[in-house]
Amino acid sequence: MPPIAIVLIIVFAVVGIVVGYLISNSMQKSKAKKAEGTASDIVAQAKKEAESIKRDAEVEAKDAAYRLKNETDKEIASRKREISQQENRLIQREDSLDKRADSLDKREHKISSMQGQVEKKEQEVNEALAKANDTLEQISAMTQDQAREELINRVKGDCTKKAAAIIRNSEQQAHLEADKRARNILSLAIQRLAADNTSERTISSVPIPSDDLKGRIIGREGRNIRTFEQITGVNLLIDDTPEVVVLSCFDPVRREIGRITLENLIADGRIHPARIEEMFAKATKLVNQQVQQAGQDAAFEVGIHDFDPEIIKTLGRLKFRTSYGQNVLDHSREVSYLAGMMASELGIDPVPARRAGLLHDIGKAIDHEVEGSHAVIGADLARKYGERPGIVHAIEAHHNDVEPQTVVAVLVQAADAVSAARPGARSESMENYIKRLEKLEEIANSHDGVERTYAMQAGREIRVMVEPEKISDAESVVLAHDIAKQIEEQMQYPGQIKVLVIRESRAMDYAK
């Protein structure tokens, strides 16, 4: 391309750039003018709106100020009325106080006048008394002090005698009423209690199908019997007694577990150390369930449901514990019933009495594991599991390990004695029961004119047959009283004993 053409192109390009710049600048100025106009319109509109808002705000402020002023005026008027009313009340009270002060002044003046008259009369009376005392001293030849001392001594002597007589009569009457009331309560409780008489032993006998099974129980070189005794803690006695194996253990729960284990082994027929361990585990689980259920049943029967679970478990162990042949759990239930009945008769709450009665022998469940008397052990156990102090004291005091201090403790003692002493309850008490019947008949037969005597109704009634030619109707009444009095003095017995004297005359002849 020739240089002239290049120069022309450059010139045209420069001219184009300059023209474009001028056009662009002109357009920007036009846009700026339009933007300035728009901004001016917006500012003018904003000023108009601001003035409108300002006017509205001023109107609202004036309205609020007017309302506030009205409310303030009303409140000020109300306060003025209250102040005016209080001022009126104060004025009235001041008037009342002024009147009362005037009245008090008049009354004080009147009292002062009357006091002067009283003092004058008192002086006259004192003078008259002095003259009378002088006259009495002259007549009696005794001074006033001597007469006073003589009178005091006489009155003191009379009062002492009367007081002694009243106290003696009151004590006798109280003792009679207390004995009568106690015997009525005991007799009612005994009559209302219906319990089976069962005698249990501290050993368990397990029957076996044949004596050949004894050798299998012993095992080769005695390994089965040794394993059984080591696992269960129960002594297995195998002797010449036919078809019977005896288990012996001081722990009744262990003995029951051993009995069930042995019965299951005999029923299964496979007797070896591994099988013994397996049957022992099953028997232990079963007996623990029985213990828990027995404790729950006992608590439910006496109507108490808030025992600690450990108390329930320990209570259930008494199912397998005996005392002189008497089941301890049954005995505890009886004591609970009796204590509750006697508490009701006395008009006190029977629930604590039943609770203490049910727990009174709970220490016997673990007395082979812990040293000490079962009453103290039971009290410590009850205290450990949150029983109330009154219940703990009744448990601890039921055998006088501590002196009973509450009515519940005394009721538990009495109920315990009645449950243990009823006929057939304990093997040892049965002998005493027979002796008591014999003693009753012996006392009645010792009187002149008695022909025959019969102790009846478990020793609660004695019928005395007398010879009619020796004992009259009037003498039979005296005889019944004498026999009853002699029984009270010479015997100890629960409840009351009825003495019935029978006098009968019969005349016979035969027609021939």
Give tens-digit pLDDT for 470-489: 888 888 888 888 898 888 88
pLDDT given at position 141 = 67
Measured distance CA(14)–CA(26) in Å, rounded = 19
Give tens-digit pLDDT for 214-243: 888 888 888 888 888 888 888 888 877 777
Measured distance CA(348)–CA(354) in Å, rounded = 12
Q: Is 286 exposed, middle or buried (0-12, 13-18, 19+ CB in 10 A)?
A: middle
Tell which wins on pLDDT, 460 or 305: 305
- pLDDT for residue 175 is more than 80: no
- pLDDT for residue 450 is more than 60: yes
Specify the DSSP class assigned to residue 457.
G
Contacts of 71 (CB under 8 A, 6+ apart): none
**Percentage, residues of the chain above pLDDT 70:** 82
Q: For residue 10, what are its two tokens?
A: 């450059």
Q: For residue 275, what are its two tokens?
A: 């099988």
- pLDDT for residue 195 is more than 50: no
Residue type, 219: G
Question: What SS3 state is found at 308?
Answer: coil
Does residue 370 contact residue 343 with C-beta atoms inside 8 Å?
A: no
**Percentage, residues of the chain above pLDDT 90:** 4
Q: For residue 327, what are its two tokens?
A: 């089941």
Report, as an integer, the average pLDDT of 312-324. 83
Question: What SS3 state is found at 492?
Answer: coil
pLDDT given at position 205 = 77
Report, as an integer, the average pLDDT of 359-388. 86
Measured distance CA(21)–CA(8) in Å, rounded = 20
